[in-house]
Structure 1
């Protein structure tokens, strides 16, 4: 039976096989992740059954957010071309639903554990975070991963090669903290985020918390361009004397929340039962709806481009954080351990020497600045005469040394835990520190085990390759000079370019 580490490597091989034909640049990115893993294994920051590549979804990921009754499920059903999600004016589902393609025409719903245990999908090992949040809220349901997540399959061609996530409503649930934690995680992983609002309830005051989380907390992100803000169910405003006032009210609300730029869409479902009596108004609404839906769907279809850049950005962030955060913390922790151990031993040695001098003076074995040689002869005779005296002294010295080492390592732990919680570095820095302070590790070196020049150079090479990957992606998706298409180059680790077909 294969080990967990072998299973991880097998999944990476399968991923490489898939990407070999689809996107050679991402195939090279997998190999760069392997390079970081090898360094992390050597330094003890990562276990052999783990890989940094499992912390990101490799398939294009689209998330749909918003309040309940904002029409998220209706929007998804229309996009997929089948009624997969339940719809209604009230909250009909309080779980995150991850929708993936299946060749089976019959849709299947799978429990949350199917996502928690499979590194190919988002929310991998999210049960740990859920348990922490639930424990902090004293809810006692940290193991109820199925309460928050589910996986659904759908036989829709629009899902081929991508993953769609339908989120629960923000407004009324007993697990609000956990929902927001999962939402933040989902936003970070997503290549495209659709934020839907309900045109029937233009009441920004009542939605202050929602606007805070969906707008104010996202506009300052480096990837804010992946957010599309959509005012849904605009057909309900068709009966208003001036429906533009509804849009204006929402624009003011979003502006007050900090959104002063970006694309804002107004749509409603073509399958909606609302009938607009005025023919000219209906034509105007349908034209605007179709234009906006077409633009939204085009962004959804082109999400693979965002996915490619997102993965390279994640690779660069992992390499940078590993070098500048994980290894810097580990190196500083080991230096603190080394310094505290040596200083403590020096102080104890000085105290022992001082105590011996004081005892000798009081015993009369020192005469001014001259030491009595008779005392030296006496001490030598007694030492050689008492069997095992040297062994006892050696045991006391060695035992004291390892005790001091252990106590010094324990004294560094609170600082290290605080830094890990503050910076959230990749891998397990605490486990690596324990490994570096085991009794057979020397205390004289301040450099972590495995963090040699060759391995530091390997991380630098990954960062350099990231620049090459970006250039290859630019050449694949753009052609500023307007030259005829020709075979393009995809960077590979250890080899700057490799010819591939566009």
Structure 2
């Protein structure tokens, strides 16, 4: 088999972080090792990379209700007046050009560097017929604002009951899952519970990730420190009713500043690095803990069905032989020292291609089941690819249910990759403690058209 070529995506990532982040540069190397292993097992194609499963941009998402609090805050925080569509998920990206540009959702769906890469497939699965309407749900807006350098802001649409649907719910859950910082404006919890339930459920699901900053908007009035504490305490009790017990709070008022938000934004590079390393560790563990187990179970089921079908065919042949014995008496031929072995060889020669044909038929049903299972598990590894790779001639004939690649050698490779990832997390911890929570701003800026 030909070796896997290193994807252009990984090459450009390595170049990017060579100048800015040695931890992520080394993480790219581990992703490359994982790619090679998964390619050998038929889990990914030659042009694919496991590194694409996580956005390498630091990501901020804003979530709010129907009030203008969220959009007003973004305009103040970025120091620009945004002209975005309130019913779409808008990705805000830095541009050195003075004039902003609005690009369609297809620009996000087609670019593997951005957080909505190939999201149209998920949209189509959630709501058939909507996958081709990605421009109705997404847009990319370039903004000349220094605060957006080397990061992305995803401004989610207002929670409008009249426009809410399954796709919007899916996209909100997606951005909350992949973001490093989620600014949740508390007017979200004043919306109709029927329409904010999926969003609240996503916050509850990820509340232990320390990514949520709950923003209480009272920007029209002045509030003293004591009153601020009372407001936060009140909202903590209210959010506990929704099952939300963690997260930080900030109150916006006429006399407040954005220091806490600024600090979180300044530390996004670290948050992004931890997220990428967490994605790497989960991808490594998934090979042995999820992928191998799923395919081995499928192979066991396939083998049982094939053997059962072949036994039924063999039973039918034996019945024919018994009828022939009753009619003309042929069993003596089986005990003939010459003819007997020839008959047995003939049966084997007849049953082998039959068994192979039966195996192919049952394999098609199993492959369809694996495609469905892959979607249910929400993994990108091609389970059917590994299954098909495990259907060699001798594996069909012999009682082997272990997938190709489930070897001590590969387990040792996976273990080594896990150790490397843990070492990178430790290096990141050391780097973070040395920085003493100061601003970590890479000096490198990707040029126009350059891979990130």
Q: CA deviation at 1:306?
A: 0.7
Task: Report what 2:130 is aligned to.
Answer: 141
Task: Indicate conservation of the 8 Å contact 2:90/2:156, yes or no.
Answer: yes
Structure 1 position 399, deviation (Å): 3.3
Question: Of 180, 183, 192, which aligns to 1:191?
Answer: 180
Once the two structures are superposed, what CA deviation does each residue of 1:381-440 show, in whole Å capped at 9, x if it has no partner?
xx99xxxxx99x787434312221123324534654554344333411123323433668
| Residue 302 in structure 1 maps to residue 267 in structure 2 | yes
Which residue number in structure 1 is paired with residue 99 of structure 2?
106
Q: Does 1:465 align with 2:420?
A: yes
1:399 aligned to 353, 375, 378, which one? 353
Secondary structure at the counterpart of residue 28 of structure 1: helix
Residue 13 to residue 421, structure 1, CA distance change in 2 (3 Å): closer
Structure 1 residue corresponding to 2:305, chosen from 340, 345, 357: 340
The 1:440/1:222 distance shift into structure 2, 3 A limit, reads farther
Query: Superposed, which structure 2 residues align to 1:403-482 within 5 Å?
Result: 403-413=357-367, 415-417=369-371, 419-437=373-391, 442-444=396-398, 445-479=400-434
Worse overlay, 440-449 or 398-407: 440-449
Q: Distance in 2 between matches of 1:174 and 1:27?
A: 43
Greater C-alpha Rg = 1
Q: Deviations over 1:336-382 (max 9, x none)?
A: 2223323433443344235314422442345xxxx379x959979xx
Q: Which residue of structure 1 lines up, in the alignment, with residue 111 of structure 2? A: 118
Bigger mean CA deviation after superposition, 222-231 or 433-442: 433-442
Q: 2:41 aligns with which of 40, 43, 62?
A: 43
Moved more, 167-176 or 323-332: 167-176
CA offsets per residue over residues 5-55 of structure 1, 9 Å max, x none? 97x712211110001121111111111111111111111111112111111
Q: CA deviation at 1:237?
A: 8.8
Instruction: Please name the residue that 1:160 is paired with.
Output: 149
* Contact kept in structure 1, 2:176 and 2:202, CA below 8 Å: no
Higher mean C-alpha displacement, 461-470 vs 216-225: 216-225
Distance in 1, Cα, partners of 2:320 & 2:74: 81
Q: Could you tell me whether the CA contact under 8 Å between 1:96 and 1:166 is conserved in 2?
A: yes
Structure 1: give runs of 5+ residues left out of the alignment: 87-91, 269-284, 385-389, 483-502
How far did 1:456 drift? 2.3
CA distance in 2: counterparts of 1:230 and 1:473, whole angstroms: 29
Where do residues 335-374 of structure 1 align in structure 2 (5 Å cutoff)?
Answer: 335-365=300-330, 371=332
RMSD, matched Cα: 3.3
Q: Which TM-score applies when normalising by structure 1?
A: 0.76
Give the 3 Å change call, closer, same or farther, for CA 124–372 of structure 1 in structure 2: closer
Structure-2 separation of matches of 1:365 and 1:10: 69
- What secondary structure, in the 3-state scheme, does the structure 1 residue paired with 2:115 have? coil
Distance 1:244 1:324, change over 3 A: closer
Give distance in 1, aligned partners of 2:375 and 2:381: 12
State the alpha-carbon separation in 1 of the partners of residues 50 and 44 from structure 2. 8
Residues 211/128 of structure 1: CA separation in 2 closer, same or farther (3 Å cut): closer
1:499 corresponding residue in structure 2:
none
Q: Counterpart of 2:445? A: none
Flag structure 2 segments of 5+ consecutive residues without an equivalent: 437-452
Residue 170 (1) aligns with residue 155 (2): no
After TM superposition, give the deviation of residue 294 of structure 1 in Å.
1.1
Aligned residues: 427
Instruction: Say which SS state the counterpart of residue 158 (structure 1) adopts.
Output: helix
